[in-house]
Amino acid sequence: MASQNTLSLFTVTLLVLLSLLSQATSSETHNQKTSPFEFLNHLKGCHKGDKVQGIQDLKKYLEKFGYLNSYSDNDDFDDILESAIKTYQVNYHLKATGTLDAKTVSRMTMPRCGVPDIINGTTSMRSGKKRQPHHRGGNGSTHTVAHFSFLSGNPKWPSSKYQLTYAFDQSTPAEAQAAVARAFATWAGNTHFSFSQAQSYENADLKISFGRRDHGDGAPFDGRGGTVAHAFAPTNGRFHYDADEPWAVGAVEGAFDLETVALHEIGHLLGLGHSSVEGAVMSSGVRTGFTQGLHADDIQGIKALYNT
């Protein structure tokens, strides 16, 4: 009888443990499928004067991407937050209302590059510098508006350093290495730079690897669907993909194209900031199931930075 009771107790305990494990696994899977930017949908329509749970997280989001240097650690929608949202809206050609409207939320929830839009309080995404066009029309020359930007302080590789080497961390998949190599070839075809693969990872000018969450560079990733990659300004040379994201070669539904993202991050490695042109590869947003090449704005930007 005692043996039967012991067996029954063991069975019940096992079932409870299996149930808890199942719940934990389900919760983990759910969290992996939820973008860290999803909280913004709950705040849609918020404006100055509101006090809504989650506004504090909105402030942290805007701080992360350079729009707030300091803020009150609460859920108050104050003047400083309104001003930061207006700056974001201007940068992305949205109506500068200061209200968290549907179009602004839609833009903010997009997966994106982890490099801030504003660094050290300086933004040039909306510089709107006029450039001479490549052709004339009508009664005279027209002008186009360029929306490229440079990273804070205009860092760039010295004029004597135009032959750059790159290398991959040993854990980098072969398909990613091939995609990055193609991206380097594209930039080489549109700049004065040449890129060659080095045998030594430590001695290469540019270092490419995958990491997840806190991966030791002071700029942790945030899991699936938030920031998908980042790179550092010249002459740091580091470029990291977020290993938690779904990656693919080409336009694969539900996945990010390795080569397209590499084109963007190499732009940062060379000194470009984010562009406010939606079609530019240096635009901060990244879409799944989508491939993209260099845009005229990207090429204008790199030529302007290096006076080539």
Positions annotated as catalytic residues are 265
Backbone dihedral angles phi then psi of residue 195, each to the nearest 5 degrees: -130, 135
CA distance 116 to 152: 10
Please say whether the beta carbons of 198 and 207 come within 8 A: no
155 alpha-carbon distance from chain centroid: 19
Please say whether the beta carbons of 219 and 114 come within 8 A: yes
CA distance 41 to 44: 5
DSSP line for 199-267: S-TTT-SEEEEEE-SS-SSS----STTSEEEEE--TTT-EEEEETTS-EESSS-TTSEEHHHHHHHHHH
CB atoms within 10 A of CB 282: 27
Please say whether the beta carbons of 36 and 222 come within 8 A: yes
SS3 129: strand
CA distance 298 to 57: 32
Query: Smallest Cα–Cα separation from 240: which of 168, 297, 288, 304?
Result: 168
CB atoms within 10 A of CB 239: 23
Q: Are strands 227-231 and 112-113 parallel, antiparallel or unpaired?
A: parallel
